[in-house]
Structure 1
Amino acid sequence: MIDRLQAQMQAMQMLMKMQDVTANNLANINTPGFKGSNTFQNMVQKRIDGKMVTQAVPQQQVDMQQGVLEPTGNPLDFGIKGKGFFVVENGEGAHLSRDGRMHFNSNGFLVDENGSRVMGDSGPIYMPEYLKATGRDGDEATLDVADDGTIRLDGEVFDRLRIVQVEDTSKLERRGNNYLSAPEEAMADDSSSKVMQGYYESSNVDPLTEMVDMMKTTKMFESQQRAMTTTDQMMGRATQQLGKF
């Protein structure tokens, strides 16, 4: 019966993890570029009391399903069609992002909504010329970004947005501010994804699916609670009977 209690406890821990992931997905329905997570069980072997025991450990993986590309008309909004990521850098190092809402800061660096510098082929994208907002004929400067990320200012090539892909999405780890990270060896330059200027990608979370999953998980958790209570009662009765001898 101890083994039964342990199995029920592990099941409840798995269900709690699933509920936490679902709640986080729902909380980010309106977060641009957010990628939801899926949960699954990973079977691992552990040594307990001198013997090897196989246990189910809850894991989560980033869902790379494409979110809807919303048009904005803003030349500094960028959406990625494909599985690539923008690379941004701040004081905590390099991060991966799908949130393409960008702007130039007062120093002429292209930054995202969190102020992190957006990386190009040769480092942070630096274009103080854009701040002057004038073209060669005195008109407003024209910034064009091709679908391969090439940035042109009044027709002149300045840089190219660095887009990378992580083939093994199990290597992705969540960070703060809707960032992800992955080991350098897991990242590769991505030429298959397309950059869409004047768009941003919405969250790929389906609220209806998440609500259904939440209700299912709640029912399964309650079922495990009842099963654990029954097992506990059976152990109590068994202990009472044994005490009579």
Structure 2
Amino acid sequence: MLRGLYTAASGMITQQRRHDTVTQNIANINTPGYKQVNAVSHSFPDMLISLVGDKESGNAKRIGKLSTGVFAEESLASYVQGDLRETGKASNFGLLSSLNLNDPATGLPIPFDASGKYLSEDGEVIYRPEAFFSVLDNNDQVRYTRDGNFTVNAAGDLLTSQGQRVLGVDGNPIVLPAGMSINQVQSDAVGNFVYYENGVAVPVARLGVAVVNRPQELVREGNGVYRAEDPEAADIRIGLTVEDEAAVRQGYLETSNVDTAQAMVDLLAAQRAYESNQKIIQYYDKSLDRAVNDIGRV
């Protein structure tokens, strides 16, 4: 009976974390570049139960398996491309990313599913490479984001909405020349910044777009910012090329990729599952109360 209490309690904790994850997604529906997070649950090892009997004589009969509970193992980000929304602001930049990989065995492009994953024949999960803007946080640590809602301060620094400095392809923060407005700057598909003087294009900087070949290695920090604990494991390359199936779009912002309808379904499902586990605990509580206070007196 106590095992059932622990199992139901673990279910409540798991559904609470699932509820919190979905709530976070819904709260960031309007956050530019936000990537939906999905909670992954895992069950504890099952137990094989049998009827009490003489095992040596073979009289014991197997009843079946008993689950000992579930726990929220991790939260995985879905890097599915969000829609690009035109803003018309020169300081807004959206990333359109559909990067691909070739299968080493066949040399053909890997057929990723809608979520950006592919399960190979040997059971290995391969993720689609993703592109991110490289930024520098307040501790001078390199971070990555898809939020291209940039601004320019009085010193000409290109900043994110969180005040982090946007990095160029050379690894240094991008600073516009003195007296230059961001409205004078034009960007091409690979992030080259230029301005025109007497009809001649003058280069200013180049966005340090990071191509992350193993995005599952990134760690979410919050506010749409990620870090790479091990850049080598994440296999990061800085700088887009014309051959890459990714592009920078000036005057656009990538919207959140949260599926609102599915999020509401998941929210209600987590609530119903939480309530079911709660009722089971109440049932066990009443049973224990009767066993102790009623049957125990006989």
Structure with the higher fraction of residues in helix conformation: 1
Q: Mean alpha-carbon deviation: is it higher for 168-177 or for 19-28?
A: 168-177
Summarize the alignment of residues 174-189 of structure 1 with structure 2, pairs less than 5 Å apart. 174-183=220-229, 184-185=231-232, 186-189=234-237
Of the three residues 70, 75, 82, the one matched with 1:60 is 75
Distance 1:188 1:90 in 2: 18
Distance 1:168 1:15 in 2: 29
1:127 correspondence with 2:171:
no
Aligned to 2:149: 101
The answer to whether the 8 A contact 1:88-1:96 is kept is: yes
Distance 2:213 2:261 in 1: 28
Please tell me the residue identity of whatever aligns with 2:83: V
Of the three residues 62, 72, 78, the one matched with 2:87 is 72
CA separation of 1:55 and 1:166: change in aligned 2, threshold 3 A: farther
Q: Mean alpha-carbon deviation: is it higher for 94-103 or for 21-30?
A: 94-103
Corresponding residue SS for 2:20: helix
- Which of structures 1 and 2 has the bigger CA Rg? 2
- Give the drift of 1:15: 0.3
Gaps of 5+ in 2: 46-67, 98-129
Distance 2:135 2:152 in 1: 14
Aligned to 2:259: 206
Q: Mean alpha-carbon deviation: is it higher for 76-85 or for 165-174?
A: 165-174
Aligned to 2:209: 163
Q: Mean alpha-carbon deviation: is it higher for 29-38 or for 162-171?
A: 162-171
Please tell me the residue identity of whatever aligns with 1:56: F
Corresponding residue SS for 1:175: strand
When normalised by structure 1's length, the TM-score is 0.83
When normalised by structure 2's length, the TM-score is 0.69
The share of aligned pairs that are identical, in percent, is 29
Distance 1:172 1:232 in 2: 43
- Give the drift of 1:242: 6.2
Summarize the alignment of residues 1-245 of structure 1 with structure 2, pairs less than 5 Å apart. 1-42=1-42, 56-82=71-97, 83-92=130-139, 93-122=141-170, 123-129=172-178, 131-133=179-181, 142-154=184-196, 155-183=201-229, 184-185=231-232, 186-189=234-237, 191=240, 192=244, 193-240=246-293, 243-244=296-297
1:63-99 deviation per Cα after TM superposition (whole angstroms, max 9, x unaligned): 1111110112222211001131111113132221111
Distance 2:183 2:273 in 1: 59
The answer to whether the 8 A contact 1:69-1:201 is kept is: yes
The answer to whether the 8 A contact 1:78-1:198 is kept is: yes
Distance 2:69 2:269 in 1: 26
Distance 2:265 2:69 in 1: 30
**Aligned residue pairs, count:** 231
Distance 1:41 1:227 in 2: 20
Please tell me the residue identity of whatever aligns with 1:100: G
- Give the drift of 1:127: 2.0
Q: CA RMSD, aligned part only?
A: 2.6
Please tell me the residue identity of whatever aligns with 2:132: F
Q: Mean alpha-carbon deviation: is it higher for 54-63 or for 214-223?
A: 54-63
1:11-60 deviation per Cα after TM superposition (whole angstroms, max 9, x unaligned): 11110001101111111111111112111124678xxxxxxx99634311
1:200-245 deviation per Cα after TM superposition (whole angstroms, max 9, x unaligned): 1111112222112111111111111111111222233334576357
